[in-house]
Amino acid sequence: MGYAILRTQKLKSMQSVRRSLKHSFREQDTPNADPTRTQENTHIGATSAKDAIEKINARLPEKIRKNGVLAIEYLVTASPENMHAKSRKEQNAYFTDAKKWLEEKHGAENVVYAGIHRDETTPHMYAYVVPIDSQGKLNCRAFLGGAKALSEMQTDFADRVGKKHKLERGIEGSRAKHTKVREFYGAIEHAPHKHAHFNPDQVQPKMLEKGIFINDYESPEGTAERLSNLVKKHYDPAIQEASVSRIERAKRKQAEETSKRKDIELKKAQERLGGFDEAFKGLSKQQMEELKTIAAKHRLENEIKLEKLRRIDALPELDSRGTGAAKTFARHALEAIQKAGGKFEKVDWDAVENSAKKESRYEHHQPMYEIAKAILKHSPKRAGESEAFINATLERAKELDKEDPVRQAPEKKRGLGFDR
């Protein structure tokens, strides 16, 4: 069974997007491509690099932050020996399922172009995805995440697409480096094997028919073809064996390296835990439980603090690109932080929430439910609220919307103001 291969490349400038697309459409010199087979390539969603760039630009928002990822380039293929063993119909089925997987994962509207190259050594598909999230923002991190998310994506692709086409995932957790595309396609490691030897009789033209006066011998072309077939028959098993053994050796080596690395990590973890055991030695069960309670409390406090900081950092972008009650809250929050000399700890967040709520409700006539949801999601003060509190607040906001869609400003000026 071969490997399902999925690779990604972030394109952070229009120049890199254009260069990549020109390669895809063969609008620039491509040394590793066979020009006599370029007509076999397939293009889906665009007819030229210019057409594809226009479609990418149409998806991009007006404001793009510096170093923002404009597009994600995907490469989909499989182990060379496996791709070559598949028929054209089987290859197309694999690429079709891969494209559907991308569309389901990122949204069909974001997969602007896909192309299949058959003029290189190994058939493969390119796909270009514009990372626009559900909020209409350019958000590559939401699409790819970090190393863990990328690993999970590889697993998901192998499970949902690869297995259907008799392909498996590479070794999870392995540190094996990916080869470059051109190296991957062009490389084949030949295993040692004995050379073919021919005796003098074999290289002589064969007698095809014995006549009475003259014998009929094969032509020079016939002799060459016969010898070529003999060579092919001799070396084919060796080439196949080399291909399979290369994959198996690589797989075995990766497994050994991964096993050794995990053993080292486990040993280090055990050493760290051993230190903790020594520190807790002699404590009673009750004292241990008390320490666990204190640790859990500190952990929760740290998580809340980090979430508050995340919400503070998100306010400028929310103010510039947000909408509705969320944008209103962000503006009030930034003004309050500025008045406090940039120290958000000194801000009266109850007052900020109340002023944002009043403006959203009585000037912009927004539903109480949307206002409550925005404040609960973006206010630093609400970073540690329980799920029960959030649900109760949203339910109360719904009731207020039913009772009176637009009310006079309430007298209560502290807190969310949804309890009367």
pLDDT tens per residue, range 355-381:
999 998 888 888 999 999 999 999 999
Strand, helix or coil for residue 128:
strand
Rg (CA), the chain: 33
**Is residue 29 over pLDDT 50?**
yes
Tokens of 366: 């927004």
The stretch 95-122 carries a mean pLDDT of 93
Q: Which residues contact 73 (CB under 8 A, 6 or more apart)?
A: 8, 9, 10, 11, 20, 126, 127, 128
Tokens of 173: 């957790």
Average pLDDT value over all residues in the chain: 79
Report percent pLDDT > 90 for the chain.
36
**Is residue 193 over pLDDT 60?**
no
**Is residue 174 over pLDDT 80?**
no
pLDDT tens per residue, range 314-345:
898 888 888 899 999 999 999 998 888 888 88
The stretch 50-75 carries a mean pLDDT of 91
The helix (run of H) or strand (run of E) holding residue 8 is strand 2-11
- Please tell me the distance from the alpha carbon of residue 140 to that of residue 63, in angstroms, as a whole number: 15
- Please tell me the distance from the alpha carbon of residue 185 to that of residue 182, in angstroms, as a whole number: 5
Looking up tokens 């084919």 gives 236
Task: Give pLDDT, residue 90.
Answer: 93
Strand 167-168 versus strand 2-11 pairing type = parallel
Does residue 247 contact residue 79 with C-beta atoms inside 8 Å? yes
Does residue 79 contact residue 2 with C-beta atoms inside 8 Å? yes
pLDDT band at 198 (very low <50, low <70, confident <90, very high): low
Task: Give pLDDT, residue 281.
Answer: 67
pTM above 0.85? no
pLDDT tens per residue, range 247-272:
556 655 666 676 677 667 666 766 66
Residue 23: how many CB atoms within 10 A of its CB? 17
